[in-house]
A and B are shown apart, each in its own frame.
Chain A
Amino acid sequence: DAGVIQSPRHEVTEMGQEVTLRCKPISGHDYLFWYRQTMMRGLELLIYFNNNVPIDDSGMPEDRFSAKMPNASFSTLKIQPSEPRDSAVYFCASSLWRGGLETQYFGPGTRLLVL
C-alpha cells in the first residue's frame, strides 16, 4: 500500500487566498483525521471522520476552516480566507477501527506558508 497520500507537500500563498489541502487515506481504513502542527501549539486534532461522516470538528479553529470527505478515498481541508497565523504543517492520518487498538497512519504532511 502506498500509505496516506497528501498533496501538495508544500504550499505558499498570500493572505486572503483560498487554500485546499488534499488527502487520500489508506484503502479500507474507516477513520480519517486532520491535524495541525506548529511550534507554539504542538500537534492539534482539527477534525476526524468515520465512514466519511464528520464525528468531531471541535478542533477546527474557526469558520474559515472547513473539511469534507465526499468518499472513502478522498478528503479535503479548506481554508478561506487564509491568514499568516494559519502557517503550519497539516497532517492527515487514517486508521481502521479495532476497538481502540488501531494505529493511526500519518501522511507526510503539507507545509503551508501564508504570507
Chain B
Amino acid sequence: AQSVTQLGSHVSVSEGALVLLRCNYSSSVPPYLFWYVQYPNQGLQLLLKYTTGATLVKGINGFEAEFKKSETSFHLTKPSAHMSDAAEYFCAVSGSGSRLTFGEGTQLTVNP
C-alpha cells in the first residue's frame, strides 16, 4: 500500500525567496514519485517525476526534487520564487495498476 503526506497545507514565501514544499511517502515497493501543480481553475499538470537513477530530479519552471530513501521524502524546491508560482502543489506516489495516490496538496502563496 502507498500513502503520501504533505506537511503544511499552506506555504507563503516572498518573491525571490526559496520555495520548499515537503512530501513524505510510504510504499511497500520501490516508489515512483510525482509532483503535480494546479493553477487556479485548471487541471493538474506534471512538474516532475522520479523513477530510478539520479535522485535529484529537475522539472519545469525551475523546480526540482530530491528523492531520499532513508528519509522517505521527496521534497520540492525552487531557489527563487516567482509570482507565477502561486498554485496548489500535489505530491503523488505510484501504486498498483497505474493508480496514483495523491497527497492533500499544499497551497503556495507568493508575496510581492
Are A42 and B32 in contact (CB-based, < 8 A)? no
Are B51 and A106 in contact (CB-based, < 8 A)? no
Are A43 and B98 in contact (CB-based, < 8 A)? no
A46 to B101, alpha carbons, bound, how many Å?
12
Question: B52 → chain A, closest Cβ, in Å?
Answer: 9
State how many residues of chain A have any CB contact under 8 Å with chain B.
Answer: 25
A45 to B92, alpha carbons, bound, how many Å?
12
Question: B106 → chain A, closest Cβ, in Å?
Answer: 11
A48 to B95, alpha carbons, bound, how many Å?
13
A33 to B45, alpha carbons, bound, how many Å?
15
Which residues from B are CB-within-8-Å of A62? none
Are A31 and B43 in contact (CB-based, < 8 A)? no
State how many residues of chain B have any CB contact under 8 Å with chain A.
Answer: 20
B50: nearest chain-A partner, CB-CB: A101
Which residues from B are CB-within-8-Å of A48? 97-99
Residues 47-80 of A contacting B (Cβ, < 8 Å): 48, 50, 55-56
Q: Which of A43, A91, A104, A105 contacts B105 (CB 8 A)?
A: A43
Q: Which of B43, B44, B94, B104 contacts A100 (CB 8 A)?
A: B94
Check if B42 is an interface residue, CB within 8 A of chain A: yes
A93 to B13, alpha carbons, bound, how many Å?
31
A50 to B98, alpha carbons, bound, how many Å?
9
Question: B47 → chain A, closest Cβ, in Å?
Answer: 10
5 A–B pairs (Cβ distance < 8 Å), ordered by A = A42-B105, A50-B97, A91-B43, A100-B98, A106-B44
Interface residues in chain B, defined as those with a beta carbon under 8 Å from any beta carbon in chain A: 32, 34, 36, 41-46, 49, 51, 90, 94, 97-100, 102, 104-105
Interface residues in chain A, defined as those with a beta carbon under 8 Å from any beta carbon in chain B: 4, 31, 33, 42-43, 45, 48, 50, 55-56, 91, 93, 95, 97, 100-109, 111
